[in-house]
């Protein structure tokens, strides 16, 4: 997990720790660091923010004469990285359940994202996560577009013991979601999680379709699911979804399979949206709700 960025960070610390480097040497190291991060797919704006932060910290840093220079540097790097990573408060979602009990309407969460980014898997993992905490959940199969999508959610969802509301291929995705909300209301379920379609190309059509579902269903939260392996593309697509549909949180999937780490480091900074979870595998429990801790540890500064 994130081996490439972990190496880049440890080589930065190695190069700076030996003697007190001159300002010129620091600039050389930072300039190499910049190129390495960008080629590991860290977004340019995020790389720049990180370098500026580090430059300031290094200039003001008092390296202890006999102390552990390496540790001081590692802490400085940790602080700089930490300030880029925004984490969502999952407790906020639980609080919403209390409010929704009064109205009788479930908390509705809409999952959006490009083709193959992990939406369906994340929907079922999140349902499992909520159930473990005592909440009841109903799933909506609003991907009426891709062949096999309805069966995929039905199989995964029902195997895990959830009710899956579906219609037929070509049905209006918003109508499926409304059906699911009605069913959840009559069963007094706490959550409805809506799985939607992706497209190979994220085009206006897909974004408009998501916007329509959102307008009709009025979800409490919209969660963008991005594929860590897509690197910068995942970050840019998240921005497009946010502009047209509006997103609240980001889940980054397949972080377990990602060596580069670029999107993991930059997606919350570049989109301004907090990370809710990391997907770290294919089974139900492979959802990490402490993304910042996990990322800092993975890059060796945790």
Ligand X SMILES: Nc1nc2c(ncn2[C@@H]2O[C@H](COP(=O)(O)OP(=O)(O)OP(=O)(O)O)[C@@H](O)[C@H]2O)c(=O)[nH]1
- Tell me the two tokens of residue 259: 């060596």
With H, G, I as helix, E, B as strand and everything else as coil, classify residue 290: coil
Minimal CB distance to ligand X: which residue?
279
Q: Maximum CA pair distance of the chain? A: 71
- The correct pick among 256, 274, 296, 297 for binding ligand X (CB under 6 A) is 256
- The correct pick among 160, 257, 259, 296 for binding ligand X (CB under 6 A) is 257
Q: How far apart are CA 78 and CA 35, in angstroms?
A: 19
- The correct pick among 90, 135, 240, 281 for binding ligand X (CB under 6 A) is 281
- Give Cβ neighbours of residue 73 (< 8 Å, ≥ 6 apart): 13, 16, 17, 63
Does 116 help bind ligand X (rule: CB under 6 A)?
yes
Q: How far apart are CA 114 and CA 152, in angstroms?
A: 17
Q: How far apart are CA 192 and CA 123, in angstroms?
A: 10
Q: Look at phi and psi of residue 261 and say left if phi exceeds 0, alpha if psi is from -120 to 50, else beta.
A: left
**Binding region for ligand X (CB under 6 A) out of 31-39, 93-101, 130-138, 275-283:** 275-283
Does 190 help bind ligand X (rule: CB under 6 A)?
no
Does 157 help bind ligand X (rule: CB under 6 A)?
no
Q: How far apart are CA 265 and CA 281, in angstroms?
A: 18
CA atoms within 13 A on the CB side of 239: 12
Q: Which is nearer to ligand X, 17 or 146 (CB)?
A: 146
Count the residues of the shown chain that bind Mg ion, applying the rule CB under 5 A: 2
Q: Which is nearer to ligand X, 1 or 270 (CB)?
A: 1
90-126 burial by CB neighbour count: b if 16+ within 10 A, else e? beebeebbeebeeeebbbbbbbbbbeebbbbbbbbbb
Q: Which is nearer to Mg ion, 142 or 268 (CB)?
A: 142
Does 232 help bind ligand X (rule: CB under 6 A)?
no
Q: Which is nearer to ligand X, 82 or 256 (CB)?
A: 256
Does 282 help bind ligand X (rule: CB under 6 A)?
yes
Q: How far apart are CA 111 and CA 194, in angstroms?
A: 6
Binding mask 106-125 for Mg ion (x = CB under 5 A): -------------xx-----
Q: Which is nearer to ligand X, 33 or 224 (CB)?
A: 224
Does 269 help bind ligand X (rule: CB under 6 A)?
no
Q: Which is nearer to ligand X, 26 or 244 (CB)?
A: 244
String of DSSP letters for 199-220: -SS--HHHHHHHHHHHHHH--S
Does 120 help bind ligand X (rule: CB under 6 A)?
yes
- Give the residues lining the site for Mg ion (CB under 5 A): 119-120
- Give the residues lining the site for ligand X (CB under 6 A): 113, 115-121, 143, 146, 149, 198, 253-254, 256-257, 279-282, 286
């Amino acid at each position: 997990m994130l081996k490439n960025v972990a190496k880049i960070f440890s080589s930065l610390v190695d190069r700076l720790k030996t003697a007190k480097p001159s300002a010129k040497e620091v600039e050389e190291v930072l300039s190499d660091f910049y190129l390495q991060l960008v080629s590991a797919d860290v977004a340019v704006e995020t790389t720049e923010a990180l370098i500026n932060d580090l430059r300031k910290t290094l200039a003001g840093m008092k390296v202890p004469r006999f102390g552990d220079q390496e540790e001081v540097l590692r802490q400085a790097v940790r602080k700089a990285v930490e300030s880029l990573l925004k984490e969502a408060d999952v407790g906020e979602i639980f609080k919403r359940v209390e409010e929704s009990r009064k109205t009788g309407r479930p908390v509705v969460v809409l999952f959006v994202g490009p083709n193959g980014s992990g939406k369906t898997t994340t929907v079922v993992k999140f349902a499992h996560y909520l159930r473990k905490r005592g909440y009841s959940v109903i799933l909506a199969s609003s991907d009426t577009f891709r062949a096999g999508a309805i069966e995929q959610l039905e199989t995964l969802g029902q195997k895990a013991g959830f009710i899956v509301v579906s219609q037929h291929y070509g049905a209006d995705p918003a109508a499926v979601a409304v059906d699911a909300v009605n069913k959840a209301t009559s069963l007094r379920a706490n959550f409805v999680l809506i799985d939607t379609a992706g497209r190979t190309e994220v085009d206006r059509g897909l974004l408009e379709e998501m916007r329509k579902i959102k307008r009709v269903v009025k979800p409490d939260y919209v969660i963008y699911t991005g594929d860590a392996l897509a690197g910068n593309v995942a970050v840019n697509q998240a921005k497009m979804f946010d502009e047209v549909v509006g997103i609240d949180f980001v889940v980054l999937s397949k972080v377990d399979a990602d060596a580069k780490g670029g999107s993991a480091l930059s997606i919350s900074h570049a989109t301004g949206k907090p990370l809710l979870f990391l997907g770290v595998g294919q089974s139900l429990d492979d959802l990490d709700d402490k993304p910042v801790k996990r990322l800092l540890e993975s890059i060796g500064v945790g």
